[in-house]
Amino acid sequence: MNPALRMRAMFALLMSLLMSSLMSGWVTWLNLGLSAGFMSHWKTAFMAAWPAAFTIVMLCGPMVHRLASRMVS
């Protein structure tokens, strides 16, 4: 794997991990509060969200990066 693709994959892995953790935790908390089953529900939501988030970051990341660069320029 070339270094640029490796860097993109690592970025996608870390960004999707962070976003999936925070967003699934936030939405689980909004829906259930800090109930007895919170951690179990959060884990289920995270496991469903992370693969989708990783795919989205890998596929859409370059396009969003180009768009942001154009907006800032």
Could you read off the pLDDT of 18-58 as tens digits, one per residue? 999 999 999 999 999 998 999 999 999 999 999 999 999 99
Which pTM was predicted? 0.79
Q: How far is CA 47 from CA 64, 67, 69, in A?
A: 25, 29, 32
**CA 53 – CA 46 distance, rounded (Å):** 10
